A = this chain, B = another copy of it.
């Protein structure tokens, strides 16, 4: 049983903790948080041992009526491995704390690639993290791009990737973020950092990315072009993507037109927190023009990296191989949204009136 500590219990950390708790070979040794807000409260209600991430804040938890089991050092001591889910740029301050206690750690994609020995995507480079002490799970966007690039590269070869990322500006709970009525080129200089980040996983893939921020909170949207080294038809591409356990191809019949209905579908399907761990590719968008593949996909920024963190733990501290780890993670979380509708479906839509 792997004892996993979670440092930072926010959007990502709380999901990592729940995913760890769902695995047959892992347990949550505790979660660390800086302040006693609603998330700290639900951590206690979920039965996780709560640690004060900043020692002199322990009193604030006590004042709020929440018992803490100790500080960050105690959490590290109770853990075989720590998943660091602190906000970006806190990781570099934390790494020496983990090193001092000879404890391996996983960082998130908001940190620079140099925080860790390896950048990680389970589908693409699982073995690179084998026995590594410090690993970085790449960001939600890089994760999603890697999941599409891996099978295309293997099956057809890739000449060039070009992506426009229309990113959500903040998570639903991040009420301080803007814009509320603009679309920002972000960064305005081209290319964005996403292409180089993909190259931490696929060093040899030629990729240019452009990024925008839109006034939405639910999901990122990618407009993707991949120039392939051969010219498969659309049906072959759909079959290839449908075979990937962490890609969901949205069938036309489902009548899902954006992130609102996608999230509604996830909630209807009983997903915890309405999470969509899979890339969501609109089947109708998949098109080939000569060697050029085009598609739209949505990416749930709060959750698509969660199964990747679980697989990274196994790569680092077990001898389980990639396929077995991915299967085990998927089964424990029920990753792999499958519609009863056929993604190849092209029936005419029924008039909408309910």
Q: Residues of A with Cβ closer than 8 Å to B?
A: 8, 10, 14, 33-39, 41-42, 44-45, 53, 57, 60, 63-66, 86-87, 171-175, 180-181, 217-218, 253-258, 260-261, 263-265, 267-270, 272-274, 339-342, 345, 347, 350-354
Contact = CB atoms under 8 A, between A and B. Distances in A.
Contacts of A352: 35
Nearest to A270: B272
B258 A175 contact: yes
A273 B274 contact: yes
A353 B351 CA distance: 49
Contacts of A37: 253-256
Contact of A340 (B44, B265, B354): B44
From A14, A42, A57, name the one whose CB has the most chain B CB atoms within 10 angstroms. A42
Nearest to A66: B340
Given A253-B37, A267-B273, A354-B86, A65 B342 contact: yes
Contacts of A339: 38, 41
15 contacts: A8-B354, A14-B268, A33-B354, A34-B350, A35-B352, A39-B268, A45-B340, A87-B353, A172-B260, A172-B263, A172-B264, A173-B261, A267-B273, A267-B274, A270-B272
Contact of A60 (B33, B258, B260, B350): B350
A137 to B, nearest CB: 19
A218 B261 contact: no
A42 B341 contact: no
